[in-house]
Structure 1
Amino acid sequence: MSGVLSPVPEDFLRRKTLTAESDGAMRTIVDYGEFGIGVTDEPIAHGGGSAGPSPLQAVLGALCGCEAVTFRRTSQEMAFEYERLQFEGAFTIDIRGRMGDRDVRPHFQTVKLLITVVTSQSEESLAAVIEETEARCPVMNLLIDAGVTVDVRWQLKPGLPVEVNA
């Protein structure tokens, strides 16, 4: 192997854009174009106005959303049927990093997710979908590549049998 990555064919590349503006306060208004406006802010206790989630909370939300999308695509490919996913998430940061201590990462130290899959499928089938989902999820892999300790726990919650139309 030559160690050189082959060029990515143009039809596999995707480009997404947004614009954002901050008026000098902690709040940032993000225009997602066709998807509308979003706001990030800091809590009042941290100098913000509590107008929206903190940027790091937004990243945690993006992780949940990305896991959901990736799980859906993967489950369809693997013929795994489920009713829904439920997420509980948390993160820790060491605030010394954002206060200027360059020996401390200013981003997540840890991220924890508990993902409940409501399904009538077997644990073995679920395990295969989970393995593939975690390998494919862009946001999860971005965090892992940044050195964040990511602890995702999946649990199966029995659901109603899925009716298959003959």
Structure 2
Amino acid sequence: MALPTASSLRGASPLFVRRSHRMSGTAGSQDYSEATAKYYKFNGCSDDENKSSVTVNFNTGHVLTTDLPLRMGGKDQASQPVECLLAAWAGCTQATALFVSRQMMRENKSCPLLERLEFVNITATRDERGALALPIHEDPPVPSRLHTLTGNVVVWPSFDEESLQLLQEQTELRCPVANMLIASGCRMNVKWINGDEKENRRSLS
């Protein structure tokens, strides 16, 4: 997967730039290892009565269906694929942050164990020309990927400033979905704040 170029990083937040450069180092360039590979397997098919919908059956026994809004030719009976991607980011972030928090607490007994994350005012953007530009035989003028992801991740309980930054950075480096989004060039301008600080809570309104 291509890493962000220097031009794509212009104007990005310092944290985003730092993460992107770290991904281009050792952690992002190790050869793929079959010995440590984790596999995700599924079978899926579109719906004969709704060609915009796909139902996927995973080997874990879970089922996921996607659809499109009516205005896009679907029947609006399930979440859009990009909405599922964003839900995957939130779920993966929560699970990874809990793992990171446990390891931080083992290294520093004064560090609290994460209780929960709350995702507030999360907004993703993409340029529709990346998917819809015509004529179809020409490459679109912009990437179809997500361009930005903004909002707040509220953390309970409170972490000190250094620990909160470590929690965010290591979560975004270790979460497969966040890692993929950042490596694609999506600008992750999501602010992590402590939930029990009243001044931070007021800033979300």
TM over 0.5: yes
TM-score with structure 2 setting the length: 0.68
Cα deviation, residue 50, structure 1: 1.1
Which residue is 2:98 aligned to?
A: 72
2:133 corresponds to which of 96, 100, 107: 100
Checking the alignment, whether the CA contact within 8 Å between 1:116 and 1:156 is kept in structure 2 is: yes
Matches within 5 A, 1:71-90: 71-79=97-105, 80-88=112-120, 89-90=122-123
Cα deviation, residue 128, structure 1: 2.1
CA distance in 1, matches of 2:165, 2:62: 36
| Structure of greater relative contact order (alpha carbons < 8 Å, 6+ residues apart) | 2
Which of the two has greater helix per residue? 2
Which residue is 1:163 aligned to?
A: none
Which residue is 1:91 aligned to?
A: 124
Structure 2 counterpart of 1:43, which letter? P
Secondary structure at 2:64 match in 1: strand
CA distance in 2, matches of 1:76, 1:135: 16
CA distance in 1, matches of 2:173, 2:119: 19
Which stretches in structure 2 are left out of the alignment for 5+ residues? 1-25, 106-111, 135-139, 198-205
> Is the counterpart of residue 137 in structure 1 residue 175 in structure 2?
yes
Q: Deviations over 1:84-109 (max 9, x none)?
A: 11113221121112113511212212
Secondary structure at 1:15 match in 2: coil
Checking the alignment, whether the CA contact within 8 Å between 1:81 and 1:121 is kept in structure 2 is: no
TM-score with structure 1 setting the length: 0.83
Matches within 5 A, 1:142-161: 142-158=180-196
Identity rate, percent: 29
CA distance in 2, matches of 1:157, 1:55: 30
Checking the alignment, whether the CA contact within 8 Å between 2:154 and 2:193 is kept in structure 1 is: yes
1:42 corresponds to which of 42, 55, 68: 68
Q: How many residues align?
A: 156
Q: Deviations over 1:41-87 (max 9, x none)?
A: 11112211111111111111111111111101110111131221111
Extract structure 1 runs of 4+ deviating beyond 4 A. Answer: 5-9
CA distance in 2, matches of 1:128, 1:118: 15
Distance 1:104 1:121, change over 3 A: closer
Cα deviation, residue 35, structure 1: 4.0
Distance 1:93 1:15, change over 3 A: same
CA distance in 1, matches of 2:45, 2:165: 42
What is the CA RMSD across the aligned residues, in angstroms? 2.2
> Is the counterpart of residue 61 in structure 1 residue 124 in structure 2?
no
Cα deviation, residue 16, structure 1: 1.4
